[in-house]
């Protein structure tokens, strides 16, 4: 019978750790005008200890097409509101989202977030 090397035995004993995929879809809105909303998604993996593995993937959802957008202003590509007042509200919402601290954590934890 052939002896296995210690390293080979250790590699066999190490179990592959399982990861759980998490996804949270939420939206940002203006407090004074809650009909103005921008959706965002956070996706991440956690190990069995509840620790986040690798980077969290956060992105926004395009207003009309539903496609992934890496930046909040990309949500309006190819789309424009009909009046100046609406454009101003959308601009306010985008600016407030961009200025928000802890954006990644908010996207992963909240269902909605008023600004």
Q: What is the pLDDT of residue 82?
A: 67
The pLDDT tens digits for 29-88 are 999 999 999 999 999 998 888 888 888 899 999 988 899 999 999 988 777 666 788 889
Q: Which residue has the higher pLDDT, 13 or 96?
A: 96
Q: What is the pLDDT of residue 27?
A: 97
What are the residue boundaries of the structural domains of the chain, listed by start?
Answer: 22-114
Angstrom distance (rounded) from CA 45 to CA 113 = 23
Is residue 22 a contact partner of residue 44, using CB atoms and an 8 Å limit? Answer: yes
pTM, two decimal places: 0.78
CA distances from 54 to 10, 19, 44, 59 (A): 25, 11, 8, 16
Is residue 52 a contact partner of residue 19, using CB atoms and an 8 Å limit? Answer: no
* Confidence category of residue 19, pLDDT binned at 50, 70, 90: confident
* pLDDT greater than 50 at residue 13: no
Is residue 115 a contact partner of residue 97, using CB atoms and an 8 Å limit? Answer: yes
């Amino acid at each position: 019978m052939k002896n296995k090397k210690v390293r080979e035995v250790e590699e066999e004993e190490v179990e592959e750790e399982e990861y759980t995929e998490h996804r949270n879809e939420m939206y940002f809105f203006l407090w004074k005008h809650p009909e103005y909303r921008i959706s965002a998604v956070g996706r991440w993996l956690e190990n069995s200890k509840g620790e986040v593995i690798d980077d969290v993937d956060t992105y926004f959802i395009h207003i009309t097409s539903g496609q992934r957008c890496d930046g909040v202003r990309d949500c309006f590509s190819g789309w424009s509101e009909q009046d100046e007042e609406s454009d101003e509200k959308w601009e306010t919402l985008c600016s407030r989202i961009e200025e928000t601290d802890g954006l990644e954590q908010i996207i992963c934890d909240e269902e909605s977030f008023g600004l």
